[in-house]
Amino acid sequence: MELGIIVTNQVLIILGLIIVGFCLTRMGKITEKGAKEMTTVLLTVVTPCVLISSYEKPFNADEAKQLGVAAALALGIHIIAIVLSTIVFKKQKNEDHRRINIFASVYSNCGFMAIPLLTEALGQQGVFYGSMYLAVFTPLYWTHGVYLCTGGDKKEISLKKGFINPGVIGTGVSMLLFISGFWFRRYSDSTTAVIGVLKSVISYLASLNTPLAMLVLGYYIAKINIIECLKKPMIYFVSLIRLIIIPLICIALVRIIKIPPEIAKAILIPAACPSATVATLFAARYGLDAEYSSEIVSISTVASIVTIPLIVMAFSI
């Protein structure tokens, strides 16, 4: 229950930051260009720094094994989500919306939304294990996600983008630093001083993650007509799968397999996050209904303010 209270407090803080982004957008202070530039900074610099900071610890063989457990759990959840959503939306007549609904159900906002929550609720250890969700998520959406959005065009699938991108590279570099014990080796005084400065730079950049990410989310929410969105039943259904059904399956899975609580919580939080903003980016890129995708992302984000604490509390019972 204590974790539920911590997550609730953090979600309220996130809501406040989203409202700031929403208001700034409505006032014309955040433009589409500005939102894209902030997103680029988040993806290419800030997120890798968050990951590197979370791996700033002495190497421990047991923790290395637990990372493998976290990765396997994250992969299992994604596979279950893909199978479930494919079956659920199989007979949907609108092909564009069918693809978007599957994508939005499977892929969560595990970068922008989950990392701030993990940082505040579980600390660096939470990001340490939770990074495995991001490491699994990125290659999957560049392969399965692209395959889905293009209607099965294998030529569009890019393994290079799936594995050579800031999220995966950041995780890889972080793990190498962790395994090598880079941060805790003995160095000369001058080298130690340089490493100290490097740590501070990384720490400052990592601290930008929560405010920047939430301002961007506020921008996206401000660009939709929420009243019109609320008239579309399918958006509720997709949000139900993304925010309730898949996280509950995750809870059942970790209890059946008896996953250690620290790993279970670090994977549950990203699994309970709203639909990924990349759903809208891919919809626009591959000629699908980007407006509809943006509505799902926005409504699921607003709804997650309530559902994430409830899911965490359900796990704690």
Take residue 183 and report the two structure tokens written for it: 């941060």
Confidence of residue 308 (pLDDT cuts 50, 70, 90): very high
CA dist 107 and 307 (Å) reads 16
pTM recorded for the entire structure: 0.86
Residue 116, pLDDT score: 82
Residue 275: φ, ψ to 5°: -60, 145
Q: Residue 1: count other Cβ atoms within 10 Å of its Cβ.
A: 9
Which of 244, 247, 277, 245 has the alpha carbon at shortest distance from 265?
247
- Report whether pLDDT(135) > 90: no
Identify the helix (H) or strand (E) that includes residue 123.
helix 114-140
Average pLDDT, the chain: 88
Take residue 149 and report the two structure tokens written for it: 């959005």
Residue 165, pLDDT score: 73
Using the structure block, give the residue that is written with the tokens 């993806």.
43
49 against 246, higher pLDDT: 246
Q: How far is CA 176 from CA 13, 46, 65, 67, in A?
A: 33, 18, 15, 13
Confidence of residue 254 (pLDDT cuts 50, 70, 90): very high
- Of the chain, the percentage scoring pLDDT greater than 70 comes to 97
- DSSP for residue 155: G
CA dist 40 and 116 (Å) reads 17
- Report whether pLDDT(127) > 80: yes
- Report whether pLDDT(154) > 80: no
Contact 138, 111 (CB under 8 A): no
Mean pLDDT throughout 227-256?
94
CA dist 297 and 219 (Å) reads 12
- Report whether pLDDT(156) > 70: no
- Report whether pLDDT(317) > 80: no
Residue 189, pLDDT score: 79
- Report whether pLDDT(139) > 70: yes
Query: What domains sit in the chain, N to C, each tagged with a CATH number?
Result: 2-316 (1.20.1530.20)
- Of the chain, the percentage scoring pLDDT greater than 90 comes to 41
Contact 266, 77 (CB under 8 A): no
pLDDT digits (tens, 9 = 90+) for 160-197: 776 777 777 887 888 888 888 888 788 887 888 888 89
pLDDT digits (tens, 9 = 90+) for 88-99: 999 898 999 999
Mean pLDDT throughout 62-84?
95
pLDDT digits (tens, 9 = 90+) for 256-285: 999 999 999 999 999 999 999 888 888 888
Reduced to 3 states (helix: H, G, I; strand: E, B; else coil), residue 32 is helix
CA dist 226 and 86 (Å) reads 27
- Report whether pLDDT(158) > 70: no
CA dist 133 and 273 (Å) reads 12
Mean pLDDT throughout 99-108?
96
Contact 14, 214 (CB under 8 A): yes
202 against 157, higher pLDDT: 202
